Amino acid sequence: MAFPERFSNLPDYAFPRLRKLLDAHAPGGDPIAMTIGEPRHAMPDFVGPILQANLSGFGIYPPNDGTPELLAAISGWITRRYSLAIPEDCLMVLNGTREGLFNACIALCPETKNGKRPVVLMPNPFYQVYAVAALAVGAEPVYVPATAATGFLPDYGSLPKDVLDRVALVYICSPANPQGAVASKEYLADLLALAEKHDFRVLADECYSEIWRETAPPGLLQIAHQQGADPERALVFHSLSKRSNLPGLRSGFVVAGPESMLRIRQLRAFAGAPLPLPLQRVAEACWRDEAHVDASRALYQQKFRDADGIFAGLQGYQAPGGGFFLWLPVEDGEEAALKLWRETGVRVLPGGYLSRDAGGQNPGKGYIRVALVAPQEETQRGLTLLRDCLYR
């Protein structure tokens, strides 16, 4: 029996790969999980009552694109956050942003670009769904280094013209996973100008946008609006997983130009999984409320300050501008993660599991990713053990 070859070169996903590396070894202390980006702050206290009040909704097929009330709540949040009014035909609810980031590529990537195989650009390291989406449509994924030398954001404009002329879609994540770098207004404006010059769409993964240290990150939508960019150039994805500490809710949204949205909706009508109605009611309340977001952000900001103190003087340490990961330099990510687990019980992710070899180098190999999602005291203890094990 034949199987497709397009996914044959995929490595194991990061977390099964991590289990293979660590689980044969006993932890050197009480385990502290700092691997997965799963928020452990309290979810909003209104979640339970809203679910209880809407349990009968599980007996109803939910609206595929989102209820009018949820779409209005999301639209209102976009207006408050970015001072923009989004037409209803440019907005759709998602069953988590991973679904949207994958399906947008399927819906929008053409079979050819300028008569050749299309290219999908993505930062390296990156959220792994970007690469799988490119492979699923037969495009060529091109992994662009996002290193200290480039401010931990990809320099797409440095690519050769013959590559840029084949680009159909570009992924960008800000604040970046894993490095926490925040794309400036100037960076986003330059990216949109590059998209106009070479005729491609930008898919902005902004699911960490509400976790920041000092200043709310700019969004691609507002920059596109300020520039008067073609609305078909920019697609933006947001989620409640990080913003509202509800990764299990699987609720997000996408904003796109009307022509792009038409194609995304058409695909989703055939193959999508709409969000159950009770969960849409919870999501509606989440997008309308900022108090729980402010409280959660304050906890992350304190953990950022704790990390700054614990790693003060560490060469190569850079405080993230947003998100909730530390991207810490080591000699070898796998060796460091194994040593840390065996000697302390602290569990982190080798950076190379989030990146690919490109041009003979893997830009994540010399890093570990550390998630600051646990309560403050546990996070402090884990970071201190990490520092003493790997850097002293």
**Whether the Cβ atoms of residue 92 and residue 268 lie closer than 8 Å to each other:** yes
Do 330 and 343 lie in one domain? The reply is: yes
d(CA 300, CA 390): 23
HEC profile of 364-386: CCCEEEEECCCCHHHHHHHHHHH
| DSSP at 34 | -
**Whether the Cβ atoms of residue 205 and residue 255 lie closer than 8 Å to each other:** no
Q: Taking CA 279 as the corner, what is the angle to CA 274 and CA 284, rounded to the nearest 5 degrees?
A: 105
Do 157 and 238 lie in one domain? The reply is: yes
Would you say residue 351 has pLDDT above 90?
Answer: yes
Which residue, among 224, 215, 276, 228, has the nearest Cα to 255 in the 3D structure? 224
What's the predicted TM-score (pTM) here? 0.96
Residue 135 lies in a domain: yes
Would you say residue 2 has pLDDT above 90?
Answer: no
Tell me what pLDDT residue 5 has.
87
Average pLDDT over every residue of 242-264: 97
Q: What is the pLDDT of residues 127-155, one digit of tens each?
A: 999 999 999 999 999 999 999 999 999 99
From edge to edge, which strands make up the β-sheet containing 349-350? Answer: 325-329, 367-371, 349-350
Paired residues of 72 in beta bridges = none
Identify residue 3 by its one-letter amino acid code: F
Residue 337 lies in a domain: yes
Would you say residue 113 has pLDDT above 90?
Answer: yes
Domain that includes residue 77, residue range: 65-289
Tell me what pLDDT residue 272 has.
85
Q: How confident is the model at residue 173 (pLDDT cuts 50, 70, 90)?
A: very high
**β-strands 119-124, 346-347 pairing:** unpaired
Do 25 and 78 lie in one domain? The reply is: no
Q: How confident is the model at residue 328 (pLDDT cuts 50, 70, 90)?
A: very high
Task: Locate 239 and state its tokens.
Answer: 């989620």
Residue where one domain finishes, among candidates 289, 306, 323: 289
Would you say residue 343 has pLDDT above 90?
Answer: yes
Domain count for the chain: 2
Would you say residue 6 has pLDDT above 90?
Answer: no
| DSSP at 216 | P
Residue 58 lies in a domain: no
Residue 24 lies in a domain: yes
Do 282 and 296 lie in one domain? The reply is: no
**Whether the Cβ atoms of residue 204 and residue 162 lie closer than 8 Å to each other:** no
Do 105 and 231 lie in one domain? The reply is: yes
Residue 147 lies in a domain: yes
Q: What is the pLDDT of residues 37-85, one digit of tens each?
A: 999 999 999 999 999 999 999 999 999 999 999 999 999 999 999 999 9
Residue 42 sits at φ, ψ, to 5 deg, of -65, 140
d(CA 219, CA 147): 22
Tell me what pLDDT residue 171 has.
98
Average pLDDT over every residue of 319-342: 97
Residue where one domain finishes, among candidates 270, 289, 308: 289
Alpha helices in the chain (DSSP H): 14-22, 47-53, 68-82, 97-108, 129-136, 161-164, 185-198, 220-227, 240-243, 258-271, 277-288, 291-310, 333-344, 376-390
Handedness of CA 359, 365, 371, 376 (dihedral sign): negative
| Residue 372 belongs to domain with CATH number | 3.90.1150.10
Residue 55 lies in a domain: no
Handedness of CA 120, 125, 127, 129 (dihedral sign): positive
Tell me what pLDDT residue 88 has.
84
Tell me what pLDDT residue 124 has.
97
Tell me what pLDDT residue 31 has.
97
Would you say residue 3 has pLDDT above 90?
Answer: no
Do 269 and 164 lie in one domain? The reply is: yes
